[in-house]
Amino acid sequence: MSWSGTVTCSNCYTRGHNITSCPDLKAAWEKDPGSWPGKMWASYQARKAQPKTCGYCEEEGHTRAGCVYKKRHKQIYGEDLLLFRHALAKWVREEAPKPGALIRMDGLAYNDGEHWYTKDQESYVPPVGLLMSIEVPQMITHYTSITDSGEWMGSPRIGSLQLLGARKANRWSYGHHLASITFPDIPGIIPRYAKRWGGTIVDRRERLEASSWETVSPGHSTIEVQDMVNLDWIKNWTKEHFAAPAENTLGNFREYTDEQRNQMRMYINGDLSLSEMKDPELPKSDSY
């Protein structure tokens, strides 16, 4: 399709039709089905005659563009994403540490110039660092707060610390005295625990070292959060998430429960404090 919105054939370059209905190819097939353009026309017609299979729900009879599941899920995704970004923006504005804050990292391995200290040692003291910067990742979505999604355990870096008295943040650090933090678990917004197949309980703090921290002394700067609830960005991101080709299919779709949505709305509106927020209950069985 051209910039004007009119279909242009990639065979004869005439506007108004595409290659699958090109009259030149059809004429070539009628004249000599064994010719190269004749075979091309035949292959396109055979492909068009095949049953349509949806790339989103994998059902036959329609394509991804006309999938009712995709349309419904696209709407839900956009609404949940906006809700999450509003809730997270409020947490960042009211609760997140600001540049200049002192942060204690619970469990981070570090070196004081002579020895390595790890959390399994009796002499271990959690290191403290000065928060140099904090920035909310542009691409973070509500899947970060749904425990059976990959994003829950893959939260990106949001800030960097200058550790006090440490030469290295961990054994794989190239930044000497620098360490990173990611979003901590936030009640009702980013759950701490998840239950995996077989009954194993996963603690996000244990698995994601950079999420286990607390503010010792707050900073005094401000953090801009307007872009977190930019409606144009949310609309475009949602459209891209469901566009083809993509790995985002019906089987990968995740959504909030009604309880999660109601709780977040109450938090955003000021009817519920952060201390009153609760994480979703863990599944009582392994059949999920």
Question: In this structure, are 11 and 76 located in the same domain?
Answer: no
Question: In this structure, are 16 and 88 located in the same domain?
Answer: no
Q: Mean pLDDT score of the chain, rounded to an integer?
A: 87
Question: In this structure, are 89 and 155 located in the same domain?
Answer: yes
Per-residue pLDDT at 258 exceeds 90: yes
pLDDT digits (tens, 9 = 90+) for 22-40: 999 899 999 998 999 889 8
pLDDT digits (tens, 9 = 90+) for 78-94: 999 999 999 999 999 99
Residue 56 domain flag: no
Per-residue pLDDT at 3 exceeds 50: no
Residues paired with residue 193 on neighbouring β-strands, in sequence order = 203
Question: In this structure, are 71 and 46 located in the same domain?
Answer: no
What percent of the chain has pLDDT above 90? 49
Question: In this structure, are 107 and 17 located in the same domain?
Answer: no
Question: In this structure, are 46 and 76 located in the same domain?
Answer: no
Residue 286 domain flag: no
Residue 203 domain flag: yes
Q: How far is CA 84 from CA 144, 171, 278, in A?
A: 9, 35, 15
Residue 31 domain flag: yes
Half-sphere exposure of 154 (CA within 13 A, CB side): 9
Task: Report the alpha-carbon distance of residue 250 to residue 19 in Å, rounded.
Answer: 31
What confidence tier does 110 reach under pLDDT thresholds 50, 70, 90? confident
Question: In this structure, are 180 and 89 located in the same domain?
Answer: yes
Residue 146 domain flag: yes
Residues paired with residue 180 on neighbouring β-strands, in sequence order = 160
CB 282 within 8 Å of CB 194: yes
Question: In this structure, are 19 and 131 located in the same domain?
Answer: no
Range of the domain at 154: 65-276
Residue 287 domain flag: no
The two beta strands, 116-117 and 102-105, are: unpaired
- Output the pLDDT for position 165: 76
What confidence tier does 198 reach under pLDDT thresholds 50, 70, 90? confident
Task: Report the alpha-carbon distance of residue 114 to residue 93 in Å, rounded.
Answer: 40
Residue 59 domain flag: no
Question: In this structure, are 120 and 227 located in the same domain?
Answer: yes
Question: In this structure, are 106 and 246 located in the same domain?
Answer: yes
The two beta strands, 102-105 and 110-111, are: unpaired
Overall average pLDDT of the 161-173 stretch: 69
Question: In this structure, are 140 and 219 located in the same domain?
Answer: yes
The two beta strands, 213-217 and 201-203, are: unpaired
- Output the pLDDT for position 145: 94
- Burial class of residue 42, CB neighbours in 10 A (0-12, 13-18, 19+): middle
Residue 197 domain flag: yes
The answer to which of 113-117, 131-135, 206-210, 253-257 has the lowest mean pLDDT is 113-117
- Output the pLDDT for position 182: 93
DSSP one-letter code for 23: H
More confident of the two residues 287 and 229: 229
More confident of the two residues 236 and 137: 236
What percent of the chain has pLDDT above 70? 93
DSSP one-letter code for 271: S
What confidence tier does 174 reach under pLDDT thresholds 50, 70, 90? very low
Q: How many domains does the chain have?
A: 2
What confidence tier does 286 reach under pLDDT thresholds 50, 70, 90? low
Question: In this structure, are 39 and 131 located in the same domain?
Answer: no
